[in-house]
Structure 1
Amino acid sequence: MQDDLRGFPSYGFSVVVKFGGSLMRDPIICKAALAEIERLTDQGHRILIVPGGGIPDKAIEAIDASHPLESFTAHHACALAQDQTGYLLADRAFSSKLVASSALGECRALAKDGKVPVLLPSRVLFTIDPVEWSWDITSDAVAAWIAWITSTPCLAILTDVDGVYREAATNDPAALIEQIDAHDLAKLGHTSIDACAANFMAKRGVPGVVINGAHPQRLAAWLERKRVTATTITVGNSNKVPIQIVASGAA
């Protein structure tokens, strides 16, 4: 998806990683996942992190459940929640190479310099206003959109489960979906990835994978074309999916 267009320099990201806010519930797991991302950066991967809403987002959802918020309030507060999570991930308490930035151009420069940019998405979202002000749109969809506008080859969603499960049976390993087309995934509704994100990936040709961030070595294995426990998301007959993900007998 990286195009060489005269006058339009490539962002050069090899993968957009949506770092699920759920991973911040356990600081040890969070730090281990970030350490693995930093190690991959040292190996030459250019990774752009898009943070989830995390703990601040859950607080907003709780308020909305008892006192329904206007769409303007919920949308803007949730975007800022992603920023807050991004700042925390980039703090030296959690990482050493992560740098928070609200500008994609600066993110490109940071990645070129061997850093791991963490996009604080609120400024981009407020300026361009690309998504609906709805609870149907989550940070998954935002990350998919970021991957598309930066022409990044794939999207890796790090979350707290091994992938997408049939009937949402996350406790049944046999229910793990090893591979699914993005169109079919969207039909399942909200799973471990939101339906709007899956539909966007299908329509815009963005392949991806859902990986358990508690096992960060799986991201490295995926990038190395090894077998891992995860769910790969394909986009029709496209050859853009760089790695085949197989769950059985995997890491």
Structure 2
Amino acid sequence: MWVVKIGGSLSHDPLLREWLTQLWELGGGRVVIVPGGGDFADKVRQYQSEWCFDDLAAHNMCLLAMTQYAILMQGLRPELVLAANEERIRRALRDGHVAVWVPTGLMRDAPDEMTNWDTTSDSLAAWLSTTLNAERLIVVKSCEVEAGAPLAALTQDGVLDTRFVDHVTDANYVVELLNRRDVALMRDRLLHVPAA
């Protein structure tokens, strides 16, 4: 199973449809898409700055931002299956579909280590990869990503959130960052890596 996190920065990019189409056509039964927060989450930052509510509320709102992006993805490619928990994700994959994670199960009533701006959808994708015992986590970004760049350097440059490295340091899965233009590379990976 692969987890593919598609950054919210692609939410206005014409390539988003191509990513979703390739994942749907070639990833059935083995791909879970994690949506970023994009400008849905940017609005949360704006409202928090304006109204000064706590990070717990912001965390819950950002999970809903990711959910909106998930619904947008399914709107573009209706064959994708929205799945809010591990059981539904695994059922979608067993049925040969591609799942899109709806992370509302991570909403919190009290603050914890996830309820802060150091933990974004990047870290949540890593958390889900560990939870699902994934083979591979691919993070798709709009910015240029140097092949083989150390994750710590990418964190320092703001490409990844500050908690991401903590989540993947002892991971049993491959972590790979791709640029938004790497659709053909993703297609090649899906065609040439056998399903588990």
Match of 2:35 in 1: 51
Contact 1:46 1:116 in 2 (8 A): yes
**Which whole-Å deviations, capped at 9, do the CAs of 1:47-93 have from their partners, x for residues lacking one?**
001111122111111223344331121111111111111111112xx
Q: Which amino acid aligns with 1:189?
A: Q
State the 1:95 CA deviation: 0.5
Q: Which runs of 5+ in 2 are unaligned?
A: none
> Alignment partner for residue 46 of structure 2, among 31, 55, 62?
62
1:17 aligned onto 2:1: no
**Which whole-Å deviations, capped at 9, do the CAs of 1:23-53 have from their partners, x for residues lacking one?**
1112x221111011112125xx610011111
**Which aligned pairs between 1:90-169 and structure 2 lie closer than 5 A?**
90-91=74-75, 94-126=76-108, 131-163=113-145
Q: Which runs of 5+ in 1 are unaligned?
A: 1-13, 164-175, 227-251
**Which whole-Å deviations, capped at 9, do the CAs of 1:89-136 have from their partners, x for residues lacking one?**
112xx1132111212211111112121111101214548987431111
State the 1:189 CA deviation: 2.4
Q: Compared with structure 1, are the counterparts of its residues 68 and 214 closer, same or farther at alpha carbon in structure 2 (3 Å cutoff)?
A: farther
Question: How many residues align structurally?
Answer: 193
**Which aligned pairs between 1:1-251 and structure 2 lie closer than 5 A?**
14-26=1-13, 28-41=14-27, 46-91=30-75, 94-126=76-108, 131-163=113-145, 176=146, 178-182=147-151, 184-185=152-153, 188-223=155-190
TM-score for the superposition, normalised by structure 2: 0.86
How far apart are the structure 1 equivalents of 2:10 and 2:110? 28
Q: Tell me, what secondary structure is at the counterpart of 2:144?
A: coil
How far apart are the structure 2 equivalents of 1:225 and 1:185? 30
Q: Compared with structure 1, are the counterparts of its residues 224 and 185 closer, same or farther at alpha carbon in structure 2 (3 Å cutoff)?
A: farther
TM-score for the superposition, normalised by structure 1: 0.69
Q: Which amino acid aligns with 1:88?
A: L
Larger Rg: 1
How far apart are the structure 1 equivalents of 2:109 and 2:21? 32
Say which structure is richer in helix.
Answer: 2
Q: Tell me, what secondary structure is at the counterpart of 2:170?
A: helix
Q: Compared with structure 1, are the counterparts of its residues 128 and 112 closer, same or farther at alpha carbon in structure 2 (3 Å cutoff)?
A: farther
How far apart are the structure 1 equivalents of 2:140 and 2:120? 14
Contact 1:102 1:124 in 2 (8 A): no
How far apart are the structure 1 equivalents of 2:137 and 2:112? 18
How far apart are the structure 2 equivalents of 1:122 and 1:179? 33
Q: Compared with structure 1, are the counterparts of its residues 144 and 105 closer, same or farther at alpha carbon in structure 2 (3 Å cutoff)?
A: same
State the 1:222 CA deviation: 3.6
How far apart are the structure 1 equivalents of 2:168 and 2:99? 22
State the 1:205 CA deviation: 4.3
State the 1:181 CA deviation: 4.6
How far apart are the structure 2 equivalents of 1:79 and 1:117? 17
Q: Tell me, what secondary structure is at the counterpart of 2:88?
A: helix
How far apart are the structure 2 equivalents of 1:128 and 1:63? 20
